[in-house]
């Protein structure tokens, strides 16, 4: 039985989001706003189908995918670079590889106790976020 990520999650810590955004080429002014945000994630998991809605007072981002099925991701409102994304399970971790112009791009979600963890990777930068249930 896979882990159940369903729920509404509020950001409680955000380590090196600045470095991650810089690696993505996000401009200075946008980074200054974005690093202050406390985004919320609403995750819906139904078998192999997922949707992850990341919302904030500044911008929202929605991702829908099926485990094991590569899709084109537009990263609209983030860096707007298209990539090919593939999400798979690695034990209880959800791993996304985002293949495109940026090397080593992707993310990993997992649960630890009652917390949702997210590692965001781009080039040589790693951002670590922790969320608690709303």
- Does the footprint of ligand VLZ cover residue 78 (CB under 6 A)? yes
Is residue 61 within the footprint of ligand VLZ (CB under 6 A)? yes
Alpha-helix runs per DSSP H in 1-134: 17-23, 28-34
Interface with ligand VLZ includes 59 (CB under 6 A)? yes
Any idea what the Cα angle at residue 34 is, between residues 33 and 38, rounded to 5°? 110
Which residue shows structure tokens 């993505």?
24
Pick one of 42, 63, 67, 86: the residue that binds ligand VLZ (CB under 6 A): 63
CB of 86 to ligand VLZ, least distance (A): 13
Bridge partner list, 107:
96, 120
Q: How many residues does the chain have?
A: 134
Q: Which residues bind ligand VLZ (CB under 6 A)?
A: 21, 26, 30, 34, 37, 39, 41, 52, 54, 56, 58-59, 61, 63, 78, 107, 118, 120
């Amino acid at each position: 039985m896979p882990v159940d990520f369903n729920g509404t999650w509020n950001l409680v810590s955000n380590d090196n989001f600045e470095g991650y955004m810089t690696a993505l080429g996000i401009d200075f002014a946008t980074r200054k706003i974005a690093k202050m945000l406390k985004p919320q994630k609403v995750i819906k998991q139904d078998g192999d189908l997922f949707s992850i809605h990341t919302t904030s007072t500044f911008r929202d981002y929605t991702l829908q995918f099926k485990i094991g099925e590569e899709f084109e991701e537009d990263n609209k409102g983030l860096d707007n670079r298209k990539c090919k994304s593939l999400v798979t399970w690695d034990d209880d971790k959800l791993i996304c590889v985002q293949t495109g112009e940026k090397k080593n791009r992707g993310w990993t979600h997992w649960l630890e106790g009652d917390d949702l963890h997210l590692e965001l990777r781009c080039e040589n930068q790693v951002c670590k976020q922790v969320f608690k249930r709303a």
